[in-house]
Amino acid sequence: MTGYAAYMDVNSFRDYFILSEVSRNVDAYKKSRYLFKDKKSKGGKMHSGPPWDYDWAWKNIWDCQMFTNTDGSGWAYQVYDCDVWPPPPVYMTRLLQDEHFANNIKQRYESLRESVLSTASLFSYIDSVTSYLSVAQSRHYTRWDILGENVGAPEVDYIPTTFNSEIGKFKNWIETRLNWLDVNMPGDANGPLGFTSQSNIHLMLFPNPAIDLVYIESNQAMSKIELLRVSGVRVLEKQDQGVFSTGLNVSNLSPGFYLVMITLENGERISQRLIIH
């Protein structure tokens, strides 16, 4: 492998781009970005992440022009065009000039839109958290009477006066943003990637411990997910041919230790431990 793909975990930069653009995060490229490098025994490549700092994301705010747009448009990575401090690096712009990297983004984005980034999946998760916080949010706003006030990032839009209205506004922003990205995401979903997937397999299983939903992400295509008790008894199986991310509903399972067995499309099998509360 030659070029930048020999030195960086391409898929981590791809996924960071998607997350940063879905949330249209002001600080994703400007200052709040982590990078880390694997030790040589694990490939020695540079990774993008973990992501953090989203208080100026998921909303329309008074900042550079692309962040004030209320129609879901604008690219967060183009923040370097603005007079901002500290001056952000422009390597994402350079990466996007490679059609293979852009194609990788497009293919990954469309795959995620059919799973964890589908509007239905996102709204279902928001609803579950909203329900979980129903009592706590009342105590919160009794202690801090800030509903209807702009106390955080300088928002362009009207500030709702109720918790449920805040949730509705949040959902509307997400749907508007995704609709724009569906049309404008760079790359060709059927175009060449120009390089093979990373030789090292990277899996994420979260949250862990889990209560109801568990998400599994891989940098290589998966074909089957199995959930087994420590005794070896299989309690759940899901066939998901060719996906890079999927979810499991474990809300009906009893608390304890489990083994998640993941079968990749190339036939390789990987196991991860999971705790269910």
pLDDT tens digits, residue range 113-168? 988 899 998 998 899 899 989 999 999 999 999 999 999 899 999 999 999 999 99
SS3 content of the chain, % helix, strand, coil (to 5): 35, 25, 40
Map tokens 């025994």 to a residue.
41
Using DSSP, state whether 269 is helix, strand or coil.
strand
pLDDT by 10s per residue, the chain, length 277: 568 888 998 988 999 999 999 999 999 998 888 899 988 877 788 999 889 999 999 999 999 999 999 999 999 999 988 888 778 888 899 999 999 999 999 999 998 898 889 999 899 889 989 998 999 999 999 999 999 999 989 999 999 999 999 999 999 999 999 999 999 999 998 888 766 444 456 778 888 889 999 999 887 889 999 999 977 889 999 988 788 888 899 999 999 999 998 988 887 788 888 999 8
- The token pair that represents 103 in the structure block: 């194609």
Contacts of 135 (CB under 8 A, 6+ apart): none
Domains of the chain as residue ranges with CATH: 1-196 (no CATH), 203-276 (2.60.40.1930)
Within 49-205, residue ranges assigned H as helices are 65-68, 91-96, 99-113, 119-132, 134-143, 163-184
65 neighbors 74 (Cβ within 8 angstroms): yes
What one-character-per-residue DSSP string does 204-228 give? EEESSSBSSEEEEEEEEEEEEEEEE
Using DSSP, state whether 242 is helix, strand or coil.
strand
